[in-house]
Structure formats: C-alpha cells, structure tokens
Amino acid sequence: MRTFLVVGSPDQESEAWAASLENDGNAFAAVFDLHRERVYHHALRMTTNVHDAEDVVAGTFFELWRRRPSVRVVDGSVLPWLLVTATNLSRNLTRGIRRYRKLIASLPRDADVRSSEDVALEKIEGVYLAANVREAMSTLAPVDAALIMLTTFENYSSAQVGAALGISDGAARTRLHRARTRLGVALESLEQVGDDFITKERNR
C-alpha cells in the first residue's frame, strides 16, 4: 500500500487520488489535507458561520469518499468537484437556518428591549449585502449556484466548472448568463423587502 504524506503538485494529487480509488485511506487523507482549507473558506463564504462551515467541510469530504468512483476530476484535481459539493451542502444548510430565523422573527417582542433592537438593526445593516447574496443564491438551481460561486469567487473558467458539473462549456456559459440575470432580479427584490423591514422596525 502506498502512502502519501504530502501532496504538493497536480501529478502528486493524481497519484494520491488514484490510490484513494483503491481504498487507500492515507492517500485520501493527503488529498483532504491539500484541499481542506480551500473548501473551508468557500463554505465559510456561503454560511458566514464557523461551525456551519466546518460541518459543510466534513460533509463534503464524506461525499468525496463515498462517491469517489463517480467523482469528476478537472485538470487532474478533485477541487472543482469539492467546491460544487460544498456549494450545494451550504445552500441546503442555509435553507434550514432561514426557516428558523423566520420563526424567531415572528415571536412577540418586549418594548423594554428597544435599545437592543437598535443595536441589532445596526448589525443587520452592516452585513446586509452578504445576507442578501446568500438568500438570492438559494433561489437558484444547484447547477446555477455552483457556476456563479466557482467562476466569481474561485476564479474557475466556465469550461472548468462545466466539466465538474458534467455539462459542456457552451451550456455552462448559457446557464451562467441566465443565472446572473436571475440573481440580479432576486437581489433587487430582497433589497426592497429588507429596506421596508428596517424602516418599519425603526419607526415602531
């Protein structure tokens, strides 16, 4: 059994991944060490919560091991596949969190905590754009969300993301253009709702 303690080049990753396909746990651990930090920061960008991001990383690499025979390798690396999977897991996690936030927002409020609400609203405004982006992303299909996230924040080309998703470069470009348009519309709608909410809360 071959063991890879450090993977520092595409060739080494290809060798480690080939060994992982043969159930070499040490080789898989080397692939994990190589990409863990990149996947974590990607998940943190989507969840903005350290604990949630860690859960996404764990789930992503679990899926990598479980589904390794069918994982799409792009330019000798499994990283694009990992980032696509992390995007999907983060979106599912965000949906669940959003349901709880709506429930909490519907609870009665005590008039005595007015000053605390003002502080909370200031914080909400401070992170408002990021929250809207995550909310708008959740309205997109998983493929479209992955295309936007990986081309915008991870600097992959549409061809590379398309390869990770199993679609052609032409299809990826078309979907990316349409997804950006839908994302813009969703953001405009969320900005209006959010502005109305904050104005209403400040006037209570």
Q: How far is residue 43's CA from residue 86's CA, in Å, rounded to a whole number? A: 6
Q: Please check whether residue 132 is in contact with residue 78, taking contact to mean a CB–CB distance below 8 angstroms.
A: no
Is the pLDDT score of 103 beyond 80? no
- Domains delineated in the chain: 1-107 (1.10.1740.10), 109-204 (1.10.10.10)
Pair 87, 164: CB distance under 8 Å: no
By the 10 Å C-beta count (0-12 exposed, 13-18 middle, 19+ buried), 55 is classed as: middle
Mean residue pLDDT of the chain comes to 79
pLDDT in tens, 62-88: 999 999 999 999 999 999 999 999 999
The pLDDT score that the predictor gives to residue 124 is 45
Between 119 and 33, the more confident residue is: 33
Asked if the model's pLDDT at residue 100 lies above 60, the reply is: no
For the chain, give the secondary structure using H, E and C.
CCCCCCCCCHHHHHHHHHHHCCCCHHHHHHHHHHHHHHHHHHHHHHHCCHHHHHHHHHHHHHHHHHCHHHCCCECCECHHHHHHHHHHHHHHHHHHHHHHHHHHHCCCCCHHHHHHHHHHHHHHHHCHHHHHHHHHHCCCCHHHHHHHHHHHCCCCCHHHHHHHHCCCHHHHHHHHHHHHHHHHHHHHHHHHHHHHHHHHHHCC
- In the structure encoding, which two tokens stand for residue 194, read together? 């959010």
pLDDT above 90 (res 139) = no
